[in-house]
Amino acid sequence: MADADRPQITLITPPTLDLDTFPDQLARVMDAVDIACLRLSLAARDEDTLGRAADACRLVAHARDVAIVIENHVLFVERHGLDGIHLTDGARSVRALRKDLGPDAIVGAFCGVTRHEGITAGESGADYVAYGPIGETALGKGERAEFELFDWWSAMIEVPVIAEGALTAELIAQFGPVTDFFAIGPEIWSTDTPADTLKALLAPLG
């Protein structure tokens, strides 16, 4: 696959971080694989915990010219010098947050498996739309974002699209020609060598 057509990578953090070890682990992954964006996907609801994690991850990402977004916690964007927001509730808040955060902030929306939700998010000012899961998972309703959705989107819509959820090397090979990004996180962090796991996962892209 030519570099111009090669999907970029959004790296998703684990839901819980050990700040004594994770920044170094994150740095090793980013030094091994070209990452376009880091997404903070944190389970914590404590402001101090979230803030310290955001600061630590921002330092690693920005040192490598990698953008960093946080899921849903809008006030953290400006407060912690992040590049934008990743919304997990589809198109609902995109228009308002685009206005609040301004034209330079990244505003992305996860739209599940619903084509219409993604179109609405794009029309409302989203910089990208994410669909998933594309792989088999028992999580949620068990629905999958099918290949046909990405095939149609890549032909018809200019807003970049992200494929995510239960990714395998086989799915990356299949979806590579019809997606702009893959978002990867859970697939690698549970392994002993996340950087090597990520490289193996992306091998089909060449």
pLDDT in tens, 160-170: 999 999 999 99
The model carries a pTM of 0.96
Which pair of tokens denotes residue 51? Answer: 């803030």
Pairing of strands 128-131, 106-110: parallel
Residue 138 has pLDDT above 90, yes or no: no
CB-CB neighbours of 27 under 10 Å? 16
Q: Which residues of 155-185 are buried (b: 16+ CB within 10 A; e: fewer)?
A: eeeebbbbbbbbbeeebbebbbebbbbbbbb
Residues 6+ apart with CB under 8 A from 74: 85, 97, 100, 101
Which pair of tokens denotes residue 70? Answer: 């946080």
All structural domains of the chain, each given as residue ranges with its CATH number in brackets, are 7-160+173-190 (3.20.20.70)
State pLDDT tens for residues 10-44. Answer: 999 999 999 999 999 999 999 999 999 999 999 98
Residue 137 has pLDDT above 90, yes or no: no
